[in-house]
C-alpha cells in the first residue's frame, strides 16, 4: 500500500511539473472536449490560454518594450503561423485600455492573492530587462513576472508624459499614434484630431491603476513615484476634458479637431467637433468619466447629456422563433465590441442594467444556436486568402436587433465571446463558445488565438491584435469593474453613477421578456469544418 501511494505521489509530482513548466503545445484546444470545458476542465484550459496569450505581450509583437506602449498587433504567416510583416507600428488608447486593465488585475492580485492563484501576473511572463537606472531605482519583488508588470508601468507613464510634452495640444488625450522606441508620434489621418471613445476606454484603466498604486501600502513604499505619476496624468485629463469634448448644447463630441497640437490647451484651440458621443455602448465610458469628475456649468447641464443620449437607448425584441422573445437593448451592429464598458465599470451592480445585459447576451447565444453558427460575432479583421488583405469588417452582429442592417455572419472571432465571461452564474458559458472558435483551423498560434475564421473553415485573418485577443483574456479574469467599483465607492462617486444608470435603464426598459430562458451553449454537432490546415508551427 505504502509503495503504491508513493508511486502515485511521484506520478502526481511529475505531471504537475510537466504542466507548470512546459505548458504543452500552443495547439492545446483539441486536447479538451467541449463536454470537459462545460463541466470541469476550465481552469487548466484558462491557464493555457493565459500562458500562450502572454506571448503576445512581448517586444515588437503586442508591445514596444522600450516605451511601454502597445502596438495594435502583428501579421502572421498564413501557412506557418509565425510572425510575418507587418508589425502594426501604431496603436490607440483603446489598446491601452486593455493593457492597463491587465496591469491593474496584476497589481490587484499582488496584494490580494496567494502565488498559486496568480493568473494576470503570469500573463506577463515574457521578461523585460531593466536598464541600469531602473535596476538602481526600482526594487525587485522576488517574482519576475510581477517585476515585468512594474517595469512596463514605469515606462508607459513616462511615455504618456513625454507625449503630452511633445504635443500638449491633445491635452493628454491620445489619438491613434505611431509607436517606436522613442515613444509616440503623430499618425497620418490623426495628426490634428482626437477621438473621445477610445480615450474613455483608456481612462478607466488609468483609474484602476492609479488608485491601486496610491492606496496599497506595499506599492506606496516600493514604488513611491509611480502611483503619483498615474494620478497626475488622470488629473490632466480631468482638467482638459470639458474644454475639448463638451458641447454646451448638451453633447459630448466624438472627434475634435485641434488647431495647434503644439499649443497649451485653451478653448479656442478646439473646433469642428464631428459626431456625437451619444451611444449607449462603449462611447459612454467618456461620458461617465466627465459626468463624475469634471466641473459642470450646472446640474441641469450635467443631466442634459443623459437626456440627449436617450434617443439611442432602445428596447427591442429578439425572436427565438420557438420560445418567444427576449427583450434586449438595441445594438449598433450588436457586435460584442459594443459591450466593452462592462469590462471597465460596475454596470452590473445596477439591477435593471444587469438584467438588460444578461438578456442581450442570452439573445447572442440564442442567435448563434438557432442559426447553427459555430461561434459569435464582433467587428474584426476580415478573413482573406494568403497574401491578400480584405480590410476590416465593422458590420457584423445581429441585424434584427441592431440599428444597422445587412450585417455579415460569414466569419466569427474568439472575442465575440468576451461578454459571456461576465455572466457570473454561467462559469463555462464564455469558455465553451471561445473553445468552439479556437478549435477551428489555424485558430491557435504561438501567441494564442488567431483573429477570425470563416464559418465554412476555408479562410482566416492571419493577424493577432489586442482587440480580438486580450479583451477576452481580461474578461476571463473578470475585467476591472470590481476594482473600479471599490474605488468609485471609496471616492464617493458610485452613488451618482448608480443613480444615473438606474434612471436611464429603468426608463427605457419597463418590461423584459425572456429572462427565464436559458443561455444557449454550443454543441459538438456545430463546428467549423477543418478545410484549411492548422498552422504548421502550431498543430
Ligand atoms: C510563409 O512561410 C513560408 C515558409 O517559411 C514561406 O515559404 C512563405 O512564403 C511564407 N508565406 C507568406 C505569405 O509570407
Ligand atoms: C524570466 O526571468 C526569470 C528570473 O530571472 C527566470 O526565472 C525566467 O525563466 C525568465 N523567463 C523567461 C521566459 O525567460
Ligand atoms: C520614431 O519616429 C519618429 C517620427 O517618425 C522619428 O523621428 C524617430 O527617429 C523614430 N525613432 C526611432 C528610434 O526610430
Ligand atoms: C422551447 O420550447 C419548447 C416547447 O415548449 C420546449 O420543449 C423547449 O424545452 C424550450 N427550449 C428551451 C431551451 O427552453
Ligand atoms: C471579406 O472577405 C471576403 C473574401 O475573403 C469577401 O467575400 C467579403 O466581401 C469581405 N467582407 C466584407 C464585409 O468586406
Ligand atoms: C469551471 O466549471 C465549473 C463547473 O461548471 C465551475 O464550478 C467553475 O466555477 C468553473 N471555473 C472557472 C474558472 O470558470
Q: How far is the CA of 386 from the centre of ligand 1 (A)?
A: 9
Q: How confident is the model at residue 272 (pLDDT cuts 50, 70, 90)?
A: confident
Q: What is the pLDDT of residue 60?
A: 98
Residue 513 within any structural domain of the chain:
no
For the chain, the residue count is: 539
The pLDDT tens digits of the residues spanning 282-314 come to 999 999 999 999 999 999 999 999 999 999 999
> In ligand 6, which atom is closest to the CA atom of 38?
5
Cα 479 to averaged position of ligand 6 atoms, centre (Å): 17
> Given pLDDT bands bounded at 50, 70 and 90, which one contains residue 124?
very high
Ligand 6: atom nearest CA of 431 is: 14
Asked if residue 143 is part of any domain, the answer here is yes
Which ligand ends up closest to the CA of 420? 6
Check whether 1 has a pLDDT greater than 90: no
Asked, for residue 428, whether it belongs to a domain, the answer is yes
Average confidence score pLDDT of the chain: 95
Give per-residue pLDDT as tens, 512-527. Answer: 999 999 999 999 999 9
Q: Classify residue 54: in a domain, yes or no.
A: yes
Residues 6+ apart with CB under 8 A from 61: 55, 71, 74, 83, 87, 447, 464
Confidence of residue 24 (pLDDT cuts 50, 70, 90): confident
- Closest ligand to the CA of 365: 4
Query: Which cell goes with 289?
Result: 468619466
Q: Is position 536 within any domain? A: no
Q: State whether the Cα torsion 208-210-214-220 is positive or negative.
A: positive
Asked whether residue 524 is assigned to any structural domain, the reply reads no
Question: Does residue 530 belong to any structural domain of this protein?
Answer: no
**What confidence score (pLDDT) does residue 101 get?**
99
What is the per-residue pLDDT for 229? 98
How many domains, the chain?
1
Q: Is the CB of 432 under 6 A from ligand 6?
A: no
Q: Is residue 74 part of a domain?
A: yes
- pLDDT tens track for 194-232: 999 999 999 999 999 999 999 999 999 999 999 999 999
Confidence tier at 18 by pLDDT (50, 70, 90): very low
Residues having CB within 6 Å of any atom of ligand 3: 180-182, 185
Confidence of residue 273 (pLDDT cuts 50, 70, 90): confident
Mean pLDDT confidence for 401-408? 95
Q: How far is the CA of 82 from the centre of ligand 1 (A)?
A: 9
Give me the domain span that covers residue 354: 4-508
**CATH no. for residue 136?**
1.50.10.140
| Mutation test residue for ligand 4: of 322, 366, 370, 517, the one with most atoms within 8 Å of CB | 322
Q: Residues 6 or more apart from 283 whose CB is under 8 A from it?
A: 196, 197, 200, 254, 277
Amino acid at each position: 500500500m505504502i509503495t503504491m501511494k508513493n508511486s502515485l505521489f511521484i506520478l502526481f509530482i511529475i505531471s504537475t511539473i510537466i504542466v507548470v513548466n512546459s505548458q504543452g503545445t500552443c495547439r492545446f484546444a483539441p486536447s479538451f472536449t467541449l463536454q470537459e470545458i462545460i463541466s470541469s476542465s476550465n481552469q487548466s484550459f484558462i491557464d493555457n490560454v493565459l500562458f500562450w496569450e502572454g506571448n503576445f505581450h512581448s517586444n515588437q509583437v503586442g508591445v514596444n518594450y522600450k516605451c511601454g506602449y502597445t502596438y495594435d498587433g502583428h501579421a502572421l504567416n498564413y501557412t506557418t503561423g509565425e510572425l510575418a510583416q507587418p508589425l502594426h507600428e501604431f496603436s490607440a488608447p483603446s489598446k491601452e485600455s486593455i493593457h492597463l486593465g491587465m496591469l491593474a488585475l496584476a497589481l490587484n492580485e499582488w496584494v490580494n492573492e496567494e502565488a498559486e492563484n496568480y493568473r494576470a501576473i503570469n500573463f506577463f511572463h515574457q521578461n523585460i530587462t531593466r536598464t541600469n537606472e531602473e535596476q538602481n531605482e526600482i526594487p525587485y519583488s522576488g517574482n519576475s513576472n510581477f517585476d515585468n508588470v512594474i517595469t512596463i508601468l514605469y515606462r508607459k507613464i513616462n511615455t504618456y508624459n513625454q507625449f503630452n510634452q511633445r504635443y500638449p495640444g491633445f491635452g493628454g488625450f491620445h489619438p491613434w499614434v505611431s509607436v517606436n522606441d522613442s515613444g509616440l508620434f503623430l499618425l497620418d489621418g490623426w495628426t490634428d484630431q482626437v477621438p473621445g471613445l477610445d480615450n474613455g476606454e483608456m481612462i478607466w484603466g488609468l483609474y484602476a491603476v492609479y488608485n491601486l498604486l496610491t492606496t496599497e501600502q506595499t506599492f506606496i513604499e516600493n514604488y513611491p513615484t509611480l502611483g503619483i505619476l498615474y494620478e497626475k496624468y488622470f488629473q490632466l485629463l480631468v482638467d482638459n476634458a470639458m474644454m475639448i469634448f463638451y458641447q454646451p448644447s448638451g453633447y459630448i463630441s466624438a472627434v475634435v479637431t485641434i488647431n495647434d497640437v503644439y499649443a497649451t490647451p485653451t478653448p479656442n484651440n478646439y473646433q469642428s467637433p464631428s459626431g456625437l458621443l451619444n451611444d449607449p455602448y462603449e462611447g459612454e465610458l467618456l461620458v461617465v468619466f466627465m459626468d463624475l469628475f469634471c466641473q459642470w456649468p450646472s446640474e441641469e447641464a450635467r443631466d442634459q447629456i443623459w437626456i440627449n443620449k436617450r434617443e439611442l437607448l432602445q428596447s427591442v425584441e429578439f425572436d427565438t422563433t420557438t420560445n418567444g422573445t427576449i427583450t434586449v437593448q438595441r445594438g449598433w451592429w450588436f457586435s460584442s465590441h459594443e459591450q466593452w464598458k462592462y469590462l471597465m465599470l460596475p454596470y452590473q451592480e445596477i439591477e435593471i442594467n444587469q438584467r438588460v445585459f444578461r438578456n442581450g447576451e442570452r439573445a447572442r447565444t440564442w442567435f448563434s444556436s438557432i442559426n447553427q453558427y459555430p461561434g459569435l460575432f464582433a467587428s474584426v479583421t476580415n478573413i482573406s486568402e494568403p497574401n491578400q488583405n480584405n480590410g476590416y469588417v465593422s458590420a457584423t452582429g445581429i441585424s434584427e436587433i441592431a440599428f444597422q442592417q445587412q450585417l455579415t455572419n460569414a466569419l466569427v472571432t474568439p472575442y465575440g465571446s468576451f461578454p459571456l465571461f461576465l455572466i457570473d452564474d454561467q462559469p463555462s458559458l464564455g469558455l465553451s463558445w471561445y473553445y468552439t472558435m479556437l478549435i477551428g483551423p489555424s485558430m491557435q498560434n504561438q501567441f494564442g488565438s488567431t483573429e477570425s475564421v470563416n464559418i465554412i473553415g476555408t479562410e482566416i485573418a492571419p493577424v493577432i491584435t489586442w482587440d480580438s485577443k486580450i479583451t477576452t483574456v481580461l474578461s476571463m479574469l473578470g475585467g476591472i469593474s470590481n476594482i473600479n467599483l471599490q474605488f468609485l465607492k471609496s471616492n464617493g462617486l458610485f452613488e451618482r453613477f448608480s443613480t444615473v444608470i438606474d434612471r436611464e435603464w429603468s426608463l427605457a426598459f419597463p418590461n423584459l421578456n425572456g429572462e427565464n430562458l436559458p443561455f444557449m451553449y454550443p454543441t459538438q454537432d456545430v463546428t467549423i469544418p477543418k478545410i484549411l490546415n492548422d498552422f504548421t508551427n502550431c498543430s
